[in-house]
Structure 1
Amino acid sequence: MAAHYLEFERPIAELEAKIEELHKLSETAGPGAFDAEIASLRERVGEMRRDAYSNLDGWQKTQIARHPQRPHFVDYMAGLIEDFIELRGDRAFADDQAMLGGIGQFRGQPVVVIGQEKGHDIATRIKHNFGMARPEGYRKATRLMDLADQFGLPVLSFIDTNGAYPGIDSEERGVAEAIARGIERCLTLGVPMVAVITGEGMSGGAIGIGAANAVLILEHSVYAVITPEGCASILLRDGALAAGAAKAMKITAQDLIKNKVVDKIIEEPLGGAHADPALAISRVGDAIEEELKALLALSPQQLKTQRAERFYAISRP
């Protein structure tokens, strides 16, 4: 797949294009003809990427969180969950493919897994509705959490959505109530729950499966009550001011951990999770394993108490 460069990565893209040109020239000039120049340019690219990714603002991180080549839920399932069995439907209306879930093994531990899937291309994005779940998606998630509680299985949730689907049909079927029930079920679970924000965690669409004992976030993911575009449209009456809104909203992982909204930042590979998906997925797995190890030692009542206290503590001095 061809590399997809973001706006702030344009100088890096230009240098990598020059490297590619030198590679092509070396095919005719002979082996090793441009090795020194290529090595020098690669070193420069590395320096530019380190500089760029160490000084990102909220809008740039939002762009990275939305990167089309960033690992999605299906990638995390493939890399972390063995013997996965998908469980479909909310037993009331339909099966929502924006919200996926089922049971499987995470590093030898039976778990229930839930996550939002955006899709990687036009066909899968349409199939998964760009990760925007309808009410039946949240009711499916609640059903899976009921199953986890019944059989004593930890819950892992992977959050990546710009919000629940806001269409008329979604509103008619009670999306707000479905999200509220999801939040309530998260908070009342007698089993450990770990949530990971892998891309965008926006609005109630994210918190509906995110009221966990531990909320982890990837280094360049974002988490907020609304998208920057939505904030700019409502408060500033101009969606084009999204970049400024993103900076003001304090939606980055670094801002969120200061305010105790998230519990841990998972370091991404240089250049973002899309630069080395396998490494990013492995690091997410390590972070989940560490959190689960501590949580599995707690009783059901201790888990409920810890979860409640965790959310009461948000933004307290």
Structure 2
Amino acid sequence: MTYLDFEKPLADIEGKAEELRAMARKGEGAVDVEKEAAALDKKAGDMLRDLYKSLDPWRKTLVARHPDRPHCGAYIDALFTEYTPLAGDRTFGDDHAVMGGLARFHDAPCVVIGHEKGNDTKSRLTHNFGMARPEGYRKAIRLMDMAHRFGLPVITLVDTPGAYPGKGAEERGQSEAIARCTQKCLEIGVPLVSVIIGEGGSGGAVAFATANRIAMLEHSIYSVISPEGCASILWKDSERMRDAAEALRLTAQDLHKLGVIDRIIGEPMGGAQRDPVAAITATGKEIAAMLSDLKGKKPAELIRDRRQKFLNMGSSALV
């Protein structure tokens, strides 16, 4: 288990409890040691609840970025069957930061698309830490076109710090690809539901989350820019990221109040990283509920619903 900075006191207690259990396994004062370990477990549980019941926006940002949180591939493996990945944008190449293809959800055919960050150093480099290049967004457009053609619902899983800002990506039309992917979300006449499972950063996230229904995991974030980037621009000081996180209103709770998202998915105590199976199961239930809300709606109605959702956000912001 990887511990965040604010979890260090918890790490000490849980570490001591594990040391005591190791002693018990060796037969060193088993009864007394087990009692002490149980007392430490209780203390750790109380501390975990206290830490997570009132996380500030910056700490939620850290939890959303936790390296042990389940990523897109884990959700696809657990929730979808007959997943057939499709690669390439038929223009330049394949982008491993975006994964997607045909699958079945609750035995019904669908298209699933998501950002994949990777789970270790090698896979994170392969997936570019979830930062998509233009070909990733063009691959998503290709998949959404296919879903529209065959009448399949689209499910997107968002987890990206933002689109890749490299020179090559800009040369290949990064902003245009993001804009067209966002436009495609608004055009397809099939149900489109999105879940922010970790970070929802900038236009790179909006390009997948311009959906009929949007849900966020309890400790995920969704913002127009990272707190560090915002602090650098506004105050010329990236160390003021805590102030920026407060100002951005990037938590699921704030965004639900503002009407930007529709649902908040509860996470296990201590975050999705402590019990990935429970987090993924809860997400699957919410995806099913969102698709059920849209069942039976005609293509024109789905498009109108989606467009009006985002027009309403703009109107609310002006009030």
The aligned counterpart of 1:114 is 113
TM-score when normalising by structure 1: 0.97
Separation in 2 of the partners of 1:33 and 1:57?
38
Residue aligning to 1:187: 186
1:96 corresponds to: 95
Q: Distance in 1 between matches of 2:256 and 2:190?
A: 24
Please report how far the alpha carbon of residue 30 of structure 1 lies from its aligned counterpart in structure 2 after TM superposition.
4.3
Deviation at 1:10, TM superposition (A): 1.1
Shift of 1:217: 0.2
Aligned pairs, how many? 315
Q: Is the 8 A contact 2:198 2:221 kept in 1?
A: yes
Give yes or no for contact 2:23–2:30 (8 Å, CA) kept in 1.
no
- Shift of the alpha carbon at 1:32? 2.5
Q: Distance in 2 between matches of 1:29 and 1:101?
A: 52
Equivalents in 2 of 1:211, 1:82: separation in Å?
Answer: 25
Instruction: Report how far residue 44 of structure 1 moved.
Output: 1.2
Deviation larger for 81-90 or 37-46: 37-46
- Asked whether the 8 Å contact 2:193–2:287 carries over to 1, the reply is yes
Give runs of aligned pairs for residues 42-81 of structure 1, distance below 5 A.
42-81=41-80
Task: Indicate conservation of the 8 Å contact 2:148/2:190, yes or no.
Answer: yes
Q: Distance in 2 between matches of 1:74 and 1:209?
A: 16
TM-superposed deviation, 1:294: 1.6
Which residue of the partner structure matches residue 132 of structure 2? 133
Gaps of 5+ in 2: none
**2:20 matched to which residue of 1?**
22
Check if 1:151 corresponds to 2:153. no
Superposition CA RMSD, Å: 1.0
Deviates more, 1:272-281 or 1:30-39: 30-39
Task: Give the aligned partner of residue 288 of structure 2.
Answer: 289
Instruction: Decide which structure has greater helix share.
Output: 2
Confirm or deny that 1:279 pairs with 2:273.
no
TM-score, normalization: structure 2?
0.97
Give the structure 1 partner of residue 249 of structure 2: 250
- Secondary structure of the residue that 1:32 maps to in structure 2? helix
What do the CA deviations read for 1:46-99 (whole angstroms, capped 9, x no partner)? 111111101101110010001000000000010011010000000111000101
Where does the alignment leave 5 or more consecutive residues of structure 1 unmatched?
Answer: none
Q: Aligned equivalents of 2:219 and 2:75: distance in 1? A: 17
- SS of residue paired to 2:20: helix
- Output the CA distance in 1 between the equivalents of 2:27 and 2:103: 52
Map 1:144-223 → 2, pairs under 5 A: 144-223=143-222
